Structure 1
Amino acid sequence: MLKVTEIYKSIQGESRFAGYPCIFIRLTGCNLRCSYCDTRYAYNKGKDMSIAQILDNIKPFKTKLVQITGGEPLLQKETPQLAQKLLSLGYKVLIGTNGTQDISKIDKRVVKLMDIKCPDSKESEKILWGNLRHLKINDEIKFVLCGRKDYSFAKSIVNKYGLTKSTRVVFSPSFKTLSSNKLAGWILKDGLGIRLGLQIHKYLNLA
């Protein structure tokens, strides 16, 4: 069984799949309490559902792009099995993770969207750095930035681990905290080979 907060279809707002219709399976529970978290309602409660019940719920949505998200979905032991079942049914599967749980147990065909938390999140010390070696070029690392200190931190991590050579890197401004124009200026000035990521769904007032 998996504890599920919600299942819905919307426009994917982030990653290289931004703009596409996507099914979101939001699992319950998170081991972090980021300062800017916009899904605090997923910390607890939720509904117990079997993988079969989840699959029945997503059938009517008529799209083959699905993201398993949270909370932190890898806290639940059946998440890898859910991903594998979705893959076997022909879905393109994304998983959003905060980087504190072992991602090696996830099928290599799943696109991992992994956060690295910056200092202003108040949770930057908890990442499992060993996860970096399991990321491929089709996966993504996202840094959510609240200000210049976070930007400097993110830039130093990108350079230290040579992240742009092994995977895709996204710098995303914390919504209504850091101006996207300001962040774009920093990226252009420093000549970083990374992508500016905006949360399209928020600009569209979608979930």
Structure 2
Amino acid sequence: MRLSVVEIFNSIQGEGVNLGKPATFIRLAGCPLRCAYCDTKYSWDVAAGKALAPEEVLAEVEALGPRRHLVVTGGEPMIWAGRGLEELLCGLRKFGEVEVETSGAYAPTQGVDRCVDYYDVSPKLSNAGVRRYALSGFYPRSEKAWFKFVVGSRADVDEALRLIEAAGIPRDRALLMPLSQSPEEQRAVLAEIWDYASSLGLRITPRLHIFVWGAERGR
């Protein structure tokens, strides 16, 4: 089995509960959602990546040097369940803790779940422009799952709160992050939503890599 791998690189985790951790990222190709604000549109098509067997990916990860946090991202990694994703994730465990970034539209297989330490779930609001999306009921029940909502306005915050309540997402596992592609845009969004979101008891986190590198690829 071969995965379609867009890129493998060292950086920091700029989003979610593991914000700030040094990490190695493995970006898989393919995503059917096509979010309007996606900053990795180059990963949407399965053909965008290089065909690599799980053991080849592991060799490239090892060559990048020691890391204790591994992030499999996309694209939508869960579309590779049953096609090599399980082998990749379980192989990554020898290097450190494993995080999977996902839209939450696809529940993991048992083989995937066995080898994941964190699910970094990004439920889609209307600002994503996705025609058909439903959050899998697996994630709100999983103690491994954390949820990050991309918001650009107070209306987005309200929509996120409605989804949190409707899906049964534990509020202490829900994070808001600003819809932004530049440090300036991020600061403007944070200024608009900060007081309002805080008054609702919602956590707000930056997109740290955007502050440091902007939208530079491989960061």
> Is the structural similarity TM-score above 0.5?
yes
Structure 1 CA distance, aligned partners of 2:199 and 2:95? 42
Structure 1: gaps spanning 5 or more residues: none
Alpha-carbon shift at residue 147 of structure 1 (Å) = 2.1
Structure 1 CA distance, aligned partners of 2:141 and 2:54? 26
| Number of residues of Structure 1 aligned to a counterpart in Structure 2 | 202
- TM-score normalised to structure 1 length: 0.89
Alpha-carbon shift at residue 11 of structure 1 (Å) = 1.3
Aligned to 1:153: 159
Q: Which amino acid aligns with 1:68?
A: V
Q: 2:53 aligns with which of 50, 53, 56?
A: 50
RMSD value, Cα = 1.9
Checking the alignment, whether the CA contact within 8 Å between 1:117 and 1:124 is kept in structure 2 is no
Answer yes or no: is 1:128 the counterpart of 2:135.
Answer: yes
1:51-90 alignment, distance < 5 Å: 51-59=54-62, 60-76=64-80, 77-87=83-93, 89-90=94-95
Alpha-carbon shift at residue 42 of structure 1 (Å) = 0.6
Q: Which amino acid aligns with 1:102?
A: A
Checking the alignment, whether the CA contact within 8 Å between 1:26 and 1:71 is kept in structure 2 is yes
Residue aligned with 1:163, SS: coil
1:93-132 alignment, distance < 5 Å: 93-105=98-110, 106-108=112-114, 109-123=116-130, 125-132=132-139
Q: Which amino acid aligns with 1:10?
A: S
Structure 2: gaps spanning 5 or more residues: none
Q: Which amino acid aligns with 1:112?
A: Y
Checking the alignment, whether the CA contact within 8 Å between 2:107 and 2:136 is kept in structure 1 is no
Aligned to 1:3: 4
Structure 2 CA distance, aligned partners of 1:103 and 1:186? 34
Runs of 4+ in 1 over 6 A off after TM superposition: none
Aligned to 1:169: 174
- TM-score normalised to structure 2 length: 0.85
Answer yes or no: is 1:183 the counterpart of 2:193.
Answer: yes
CA 114–124 in structure 1, closer or farther in 2 if over 3 Å, else same: farther
Checking the alignment, whether the CA contact within 8 Å between 1:3 and 1:47 is kept in structure 2 is yes
